Amino acid sequence: MIGLEPVKKFITLLIFSTYIKGEEPVSGLIVAEPEHGKTKLLKSIRAKRVEIIMDATAYGISQHILPRIYYREIRTLIFPDFLRILSRGKRVVDEVLTLINVLTEDGIDASILTRNLTWIPPKNSESVKANVIIAITSNELRKRKEKLRRFGFLRRVLPFYYAYTQEDLKLIHEALKISNQTFKKIELNVPSEDLEVSMSKGLADKLDPAIEVLKPVIGAYTGFTLRRQLQTLCKANALVNNRNEVTEDDIKEILAFTPFLFNPISGDECTWLIMRNLPARSEELVSKLSRFSRKTIYDRINKLREQGLIYKAKDGWKSVFL
């Protein structure tokens, strides 16, 4: 799974976000060029209460998936190749997008009655939500971005744009010469119930600069949803590390994802490792990130500086957020 560690980490946190008591789960949109391992990575995920869907209609989801979501048998829907659904007829696409909006934001505590979709929950039912993890190519997202925006779909998912470095591409080619099985199953040991995870206001304050920088980038109006998403991911990271309280380490982990939220720049594993290892001098990063060339590391440092995500201090490079 070369070059995909940050993507794997992001997906893991999205799944764990469904177990934070009192928080809405975070949905994600994984975006990359073709042949970047999106579909295979998502299909390799194995976890309780996660359903992988290669193709579907709103009718199929309402009949076979909604009841299981309502009874908490499913918490996360993964669509490894969302183009299959987007390539269906307009009515099917519109109803699937509407259903995803309901699942992720409104919850399925009220009836849904359309031509192809019928859902009537039990009386006096609680609002039950699920999150989605969707993969799509950069080009297909560009072609359908206006439609997705009109449906309010894009403001409900956190985008994650990634790419490979030249070193990643060379290593993958070498691995393929030996075996085609470059993806192994990823077993996630998720909680059996919702858990409390606390976060102090002081730590939440540390997300303020990132929210201000990212709001215009992802098209957020107020930043409320973005704040909720980032804070929930911090809590999910604490949960992954068997803690019930967010620490500064969790803040740093989530802020390391910020380059992946930029489009069309995107992030890669080298960029992610640089962000995780700050503060550091250039030569310290070259030493720590030894599998990448000096040229690649310096190129990523310059791009992060140009994006306004890092700055150079007397004692080395630092994140603008911490």
The 3-state secondary structure of the chain reads: CCCCHHHHHHHHHHHHHHHECCCCCCEEEEEECCCCCHHHHHHCEECCCEEECCCCCHHHHHHHCHHHHHCCCCCEEEECCCHHHHCCCHHHHHHHHHHHHHHHHHCCCCCEECCCCEECCCCCCCCCCCEEEEEEEHHHHHHHHHHHHHCCCCCCEEEEEECCCHHHHHHHHHHHHHCCCCCCCEECCCCCCCECCECCHHHHHCCHHHHHHHHHHHCCCCCHHHHHHHHHHHHHHHHHCCCCECCHHHHHHHHCCHHHHCCCCCECHHHHHHHHCCCECHHHHHHHCCCCCHHHHHHHHHHHHHCCCEEEECCEEEECCC
Among residues 57, 6, 44, 48, which one has the least CA distance to residue 28?
Answer: 6
β 131-137/76-79 pair status:
parallel
Neighbouring C-beta atoms of residue 212, cutoff 10 Å: 12
Q: Contact at 8 Å (CB) between 234 and 203? A: yes
CA–CA separation, 250 and 319 (whole Å): 15
Separation in Å, CA 16 to CA 27, 131, 194 = 11, 10, 10
Which pLDDT score, from 0 to 100, does residue 264 have? Answer: 60
**Class of the 5-163 domain?**
alpha beta
Which pLDDT score, from 0 to 100, does residue 217 have? Answer: 84
CA–CA separation, 312 and 322 (whole Å): 13
Which pLDDT score, from 0 to 100, does residue 124 have? Answer: 65
Which pLDDT score, from 0 to 100, does residue 266 have? Answer: 80
Residue ranges covered by each domain of the chain = 5-163, 196-322
Element (H, E) at 118: strand 118-119
Among residues 86, 50, 43, which one has the least CA distance to residue 65?
Answer: 50
Which pLDDT score, from 0 to 100, does residue 216 have? Answer: 87
Among residues 270, 263, 259, which one has the least CA distance to residue 300?
Answer: 270
Neighbouring C-beta atoms of residue 311, cutoff 10 Å: 11
* Tens place of pLDDT per residue across the chain (322 aa): 899 999 999 999 999 999 999 999 999 999 999 999 999 999 999 999 999 999 988 888 888 998 899 889 999 999 999 999 999 988 889 888 988 988 898 888 777 777 767 777 777 677 899 999 999 999 999 999 888 888 888 888 999 999 999 999 999 999 888 877 667 899 999 999 999 999 999 999 999 999 999 888 888 889 999 999 999 999 999 999 999 999 999 999 999 999 998 766 689 999 999 999 999 999 999 999 999 999 999 999 999 999 889 999 999 999 999 8
Backbone angles phi, psi at 210, to 5 degrees: -65, -40
Which pLDDT score, from 0 to 100, does residue 281 have? Answer: 96
